[in-house]
Amino acid sequence: MENLNLILPEIFISLSIMFLLILGVFKNDSSKITFNLSLFAILITAIITINETFSVSRETLFNESVVIDHMSSLMKIITLIGGFLVLVISSTYLKTFKIFNIEYPVLILSSILGMMVMISSNDLIIFYMGLELQSLALYVLATYNRDQIKSSEAGLKYFVLSALSSGLLLYGCSLIYGFSGSTNFDIISNQLNSKEYVLTFGIVFILVGLAFKISAVPFHMWAPDVYEGSPTTVTLFFTIVPKIAALTVFIRFLYVPFLNLIDQWQMIIVFLSIASMIFGAVAAIGQTNIKRLIAYSSISHIGYTLAGLATVSNEGIQSSIIYISIYVVMNLALFSSLLMLRRKDQYYEDIDDLSGLSKNHPLLSLCLLLILFSLAGIPPLAGFFAKFYVFKAVLEQSMYFLAIVGLLSTVIAAFYYLRIIKIMYFDEEKDKYDTEHSLWLKFSLTVSTILILVYFIFPSQLIEVVSRINII
């Protein structure tokens, strides 16, 4: 008998989804209660995850097709916390657009379930199942504001391009299966050797598919449009939660089945990383819409995370995970402040709308100032440490070119972050925004900003948790 306790979080969250759907069918006007119950469900799932799996160093289930280890439990917890916070700060926004329906929390829960399956997968089929579950939910979420053309366009674009990338991914999987005779990662790892050149195609296809999911250059084209068109809370969800799952899968693919083929993929990752860092930084300069700008900035942040993966060392993997955790906090803070730019029932998302914000809203703009400097990687804020660990790992492997290009692109990136700060602090003020916000929004902004600010006092804690992750 398998130890089902280990997948209790997944079981619980699937049961909650079904229950919420049934509740939605039988109860009229159930949007509010579904919303609260789903928050509750995520919270409980997180608690179960911590309780059941946090201390497990490595266990496998179902013929080794599902793996529970330190990485999977940590990433699941980050996913759940991220999902919870996204959901909790969305309510005002959804109500404003009159799309506060039961589908929203249910879709978020299902995509979280998909991500949890992905994170734990140790088998191509399980992995693909999780990927599709989360993607399907995300397509619908992107079009969620269905009365707006932009939102529908975003969803359609995302669907078409994502389906293409899933196709490539699947083709890659089938090639790998053809060469190794198994879909299990561990078995593949033993069967593969670098002599078979066609195998490289399989790896490349899989990497392309995954690079698309995390929007690394040159597979990033969908990101700016989708981020801009989707409802802001969904954009927030896109920028943080799926990236965590996709990064985990990236790590697992590279370091479990393909570990023996480092020569084949290391250059690809280095290229993806450099291209994302530079392109993300350069392309963001000309943007006028904050959401598009965030899309490009998230592309360049993904570049830094990939730089950690390119090192082929445990330190590198750990630094990438630290980077993504800090990035999640920073993005959450950034979007929380973006959601505060509201006047009556109108949300503002152009950079010019921030003009002179510091005069009318000194606290909000101070928070944004810290967030933006942190995103730019200026010490002593958390964003600096994220980059610092990555480059520490990169330089350990003497990859000087990657480190220098990465750091120079932070200078370019600093330019557009500074531009926002300039608009907030140096330009003439506009009308006041509403100061009434939901408690949760204020909470998430305050907590994440304080975390960014005081991270430098306690940097060891995060490292301690992450340092248990040893993949190689």
Q: Which residues bind another protein (CB under 8 A)?
A: 362, 373, 378-380, 384, 388, 391-392, 395-396, 398, 400, 403-404, 407-408, 410-411, 414-415, 418, 421-422, 425-426, 456, 459-460, 463-464
Please give the structure tokens belonging to residue 283. 């392309």
Least separation, in Å, of the C-beta of 207 and another protein?
27
Is the CB of 57 or the CB of 461 nearer to another protein?
Answer: 461
Query: How many angstroms separate the CA atoms of 231 and 392, rounded?
Result: 37
Cα torsion angle, 333, 425, 283, 273, sign:
negative
Query: How many angstroms separate the CA atoms of 462 and 288, rounded?
Result: 35
Is the CB of 203 or the CB of 283 nearer to another protein?
Answer: 283
- Beta carbons within 8 Å of 203's beta carbon, 6+ residues apart: 172, 176, 258, 261, 264, 265, 268
Least separation, in Å, of the C-beta of 468 and another protein?
13
Least separation, in Å, of the C-beta of 396 and another protein?
5
Strands 342-343 and 346-347: antiparallel
- Beta carbons within 8 Å of 110's beta carbon, 6+ residues apart: 17, 133, 134, 136, 137
Backbone angles phi, psi at 438, to 5 degrees: -70, 155
For residue 58, the cross-strand partners are 69
Coil, helix or strand at residue 396: helix
The runs of H, that is alpha helices, within 219-344 are 222-229, 232-255, 262-284, 290-309, 314-338
Query: How many angstroms separate the CA atoms of 204 and 57, rounded?
Result: 31
Is the CB of 81 or the CB of 367 nearer to another protein?
Answer: 367
Query: How many angstroms separate the CA atoms of 173 and 209, rounded?
Result: 10
Is the CB of 8 or the CB of 414 nearer to another protein?
Answer: 414
Is the CB of 212 or the CB of 417 nearer to another protein?
Answer: 417
- Beta carbons within 8 Å of 15's beta carbon, 6+ residues apart: none
Least separation, in Å, of the C-beta of 350 and another protein?
19
Is the CB of 62 or the CB of 401 nearer to another protein?
Answer: 401
Q: Which amino acid is at 416?
A: Y
Least separation, in Å, of the C-beta of 414 and another protein?
6
Is the CB of 153 or the CB of 315 nearer to another protein?
Answer: 315
Least separation, in Å, of the C-beta of 38 and another protein?
38
Least separation, in Å, of the C-beta of 379 and another protein?
4
Least separation, in Å, of the C-beta of 216 and another protein?
22
Is the CB of 115 or the CB of 326 nearer to another protein?
Answer: 326
CB 351 within 8 A of CB 341: no
